[in-house]
C-alpha cells in the first residue's frame, strides 16, 4: 500500500488539534500528506456531530467523491463514528475504516497493516493524555493545546459526552512540556482548549487558574487564550486573572444558549439568566475593555415566542462583541432528542435571522468604540485579500488589518485603531 494521505477536518478547534496530532503520528510512520484527493491513497475525514449541519456536510463531501474510490482507502474518524458506530458502513458502503476520537494511535497502526475489509476502531489509546502530544504546526506562530477531553455536564442538547466520553484532564506537567516544545518550534501564541476548560483538573486534583499562571511564566509565550468556559464554573480567581496576567487575551467566550430560564432548565445548563448577568457585570468591572462572545441556540423544543423575546432582550442588554447563533437540531442519544422538535423550521430561520441582525448592529457599534484607541497588536499572518497588509489581534482578541507595514508574524506592535467595521478593525502603525 502506498502511504499518501489527504485529510479534511470539520468541526471545532478540538477536531483541528486532533487532525494535527494525527498528521504527526502518520508522518512518523512514513506516511506523507498530499493536497488533493486525486493524488492520495488514503482519504481521511475528521468529523463533528455536535450539530447536524457539520455532519451533513461531511457525509455530502464523502458522497461527492465516492466515484474516485478505485483502490483508495476511505476513513471516517472523530465524533461521528462514536455516535453511529457501524451504521456508517450501512449509510456509506464505500467507507473502509471508522475510528473514534480517542483511538488515533490504533488508527495509524491499523493503516500500517491494513489489507482490506470493514474495520471499526473504538478502543481508547493507552496514555492518551498522560504523554506529550506533539502536533504538526499548520500555523507557524499559533497553536491549540488540548488540556481536557470529554465532558460530564450532559446538557440536554449536546452529544459531546457520548462522542468523547467522560472528562479527563491532561496532567499539568505534560501540558507545560507540550507548550515548551511548541515554543521551541517558533510558536508564540497558545490557545488552551477543552469542552469546558473551567473544569480542568477536578478529576486529578489540579486547577485551571493555577495552570494559567504557570503557563504565563513560560519564556517565549507572547499571548495566551482559552476556549470554552461554562457559566456554572466561572470562579472569581479566573475573573481576576484577566487583569493580573498581561499575556492573557482579555477575551471570554461564555455560551449563554438562551435568555429564558425555562429553556435553560430544559437544556440542563445549571445556571439562571440572573447568574449569567452577574458574571458579565463582574468580568467587565474587573477588566474594562474585555471582549465577551457567546453562543445562542434558537428553536429549542418548547421555545415559545416569549422565550425568544427574552433571549433577544438579553442579547440587546449585554451587547456581546460577537455571537454565534445556531438553529436547534436534535442530536442522537441526547435527552433533548426525546423532546418534540416542535418549533417549525420557518420559525427557527426567522429567529436565527433576527438575532444575527441584532448582533450585526451591536458588533459594529462595539468595534466603532475602538476607534482612536492605541493597542498592542499580535501579528498573526499576512492578509490574503489585501496587498502589503497583515492581520493581527488586539489584546482583547479582535482582528485588526494593518496595511503597508514592515513587520513579522509573531511580533507585537503598537497600533492606533482608525476604523471599526462589523468583522474587522483597521489600524495604522505608531
| Listed residue (139, 114, 117, 122) closest to 29, CA to CA | 114
List pLDDT tens digits, range 130-154.
777 777 766 689 999 999 999 999 9
Q: Quick one: which of 27, 29, 7 has its CA closest to 113?
A: 29
Looking at residue 51, its pLDDT comes to 85
Name beta bridge partners: 429. 415
Q: Which pLDDT does position 104 carry in this prediction?
A: 94
pLDDT score for 138: 62
Q: Give the residue from 204, 189, 80 showing the smallest Cα distance to 148.
A: 204
Torsions phi, psi for 343 (to 5 deg): -100, 115
Q: How much is the pLDDT for 286?
A: 97
- pTM for this predicted structure: 0.93
The number of beta carbons lying within 10 Å of the beta carbon of residue 285 is 10
CB of 315 closer than 8 Å to CB of 276: no
Cα dist. 165→15, 45, 78, 83, 148 in Å?
15, 20, 12, 11, 11
DSSP assignment of 76-112 equals EEEHHHHHHTTHHHHH-TT--EEE-TT-HHHHHHHHH
Q: Model confidence over 53-92: pLDDT tens digits?
A: 889 999 999 999 999 988 899 999 999 999 999 999 999 9
Name the stretches of the chain with pLDDT < 50.
none
Q: Distance between CA 44 and CA 58 in Å, rounded?
A: 11
How confident is the model at residue 139, as a pLDDT?
62
Q: What is the DSSP string of 387-400?
A: TTEEEEE-TT--EE
Amino acid at each position: 500500500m502506498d502511504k499518501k494521505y489527504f485529510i479534511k477536518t470539520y468541526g471545532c478547534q478540538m477536531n483541528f488539534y486532533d487532525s494535527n496530532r494525527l498528521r504527526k503520528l502518520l508522518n512518523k510512520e512514513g506516511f506523507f500528506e498530499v493536497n488533493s484527493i486525486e493524488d492520495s491513497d488514503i482519504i481521511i475525514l475528521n468529523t463533528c456531530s455536535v450539530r447536524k449541519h457539520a455532519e451533513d456536510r461531511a457525509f455530502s463531501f464523502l458522497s461527492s467523491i465516492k466515484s474516485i474510490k478505485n483502490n483508495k482507502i476511505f476513513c471516517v474518524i472523530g465524533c461521528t463514528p462514536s455516535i453511529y458506530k457501524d451504521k456508517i458502513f450501512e449509510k456509506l458502503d464505500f467507507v473502509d475504516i471508522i475510528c473514534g476520537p480517542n483511538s488515533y494511535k490504533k488508527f495509524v497502526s491499523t493503516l500500517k497493516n491494513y489489507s482490506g475489509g470493514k474495520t471499526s476502531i473504538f478502543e481508547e489509546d493507552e496514555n492518551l493524555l498522560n504523554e506529550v502530544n506533539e502536533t504538526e504546526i499548520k500555523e507557524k506562530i499559533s497553536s491549540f493545546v488540548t488540556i481536557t477531553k470529554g465532558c460530564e455536564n450532559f446538557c440536554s442538547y449536546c452529544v459531546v459526552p457520548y462522542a468523547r466520553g467522560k472528562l479527563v484532564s491532561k496532567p499539568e506537567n505534560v501540558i507545560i512540556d507540550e507548550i515548551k516544545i511548541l515554543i521551541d518550534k517558533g510558536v508564540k501564541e497558545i490557545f488552551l482548549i477543552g469542552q469546558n476548560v473551567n473544569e480542568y483538573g477536578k478529576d486529578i486534583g489540579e486547577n485551571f487558574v493555577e495552570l494559567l499562571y504557570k503557563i504565563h511564566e513560560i519564556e517565549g509565550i507572547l499571548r495566551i487564550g482559552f476556549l470554552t468556559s461554562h457559566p456554572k464554573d466561572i470562579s472569581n480567581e479566573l475573573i481576576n486573572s484577566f487583569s493580573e496576567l498581561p499575556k492573557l487575551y482579555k477575551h471570554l467566550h461564555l455560551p449563554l444558549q438562551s435568555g429564558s430560564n425555562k429553556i435553560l432548565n430544559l437544556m440542563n445548563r445549571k445556571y439562571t439568566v440572573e447568574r449569567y448577568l452577574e458574571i458579565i457585570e463582574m468580568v467587565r468591572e474587573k477588566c474594562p475593555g474585555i471582549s465577551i462572545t457567546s453562543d445562542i441556540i434558537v428553536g429549542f423544543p418548547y421555545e415559545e415566542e416569549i422565550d425568544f423575546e427574552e433571549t433577544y432582550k438579553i442579547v440587546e442588554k449585554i451587547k456581546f462583541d460577537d455571537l454565534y447563533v445556531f438553529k436547534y437540531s436534535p442530536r442522537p442519544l441526547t435527552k433533548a432528542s426525546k423532546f418534540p422538535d416542535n418549533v417549525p423550521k420557518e420559525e427557527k430561520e426567522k429567529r436565527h435571522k433576527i438575532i444575527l441582525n441584532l448582533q450585526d448592529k451591536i458588533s459594529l457599534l462595539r468595534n466603532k468604540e475602538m476607534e482612536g484607541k492605541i493597542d498592542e497588536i499580535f501579528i498573526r499572518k499576512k492578509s490574503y485579500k489585501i496587498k502589503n497588509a497583515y492581520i493581527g489581534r488586539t489584546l482583547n482578541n479582535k482582528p485588526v488589518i494593518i496595511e503597508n507595514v514592515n513587520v513579522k508574524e509573531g511580533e507585537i506592535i503598537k497600533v492606533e485603531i482608525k476604523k471599526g467595521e462589523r468583522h474587522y478593525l483597521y489600524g495604522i502603525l505608531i
